[in-house]
Amino acid sequence: MNGHPSNKEEDLVFLALCDRFLSTTSVHRTMTREELRQATGLDAEILDETLKALRGPDAHDDSYVAFEGGRVILGPVWRVKCRALPPDPALR
């Protein structure tokens, strides 16, 4: 993946989590799976498969996404990529 989403679903997850991470109006920098599902438009099964794929073959790789209780947050690799994006979502 080299720090970049490799398919449409992963790109949608990245953008939704990045928008939340950079938000100045949200209380949490994380999202529940339901919030993520609504933000991406992915059905629950596809979202779960995408999150599982992002965690790597051992399902413990937090580089791209991590879990904080019942919430999903950007992992360190994607956090760096997210911070490098223009602050205005319309320019991404």
pLDDT digits (tens, 9 = 90+) for 26-57: 788 899 999 999 999 999 999 999 999 888 88
Quote the pTM value. 0.83
The domain segmentation of the chain, as residue ranges, is 8-85
Pick the closest to residue 4 from 83, 64, 75, 87 (CA basis): 64
Report whether CATH 1.10.10 matches the domain 8-85: yes
Asked if residue 25 has pLDDT above 60, the reply is yes
How much is the pLDDT for 92?
A: 66
**φ and ψ of 55, to 5 deg:** -85, 0
pLDDT given at position 31: 95
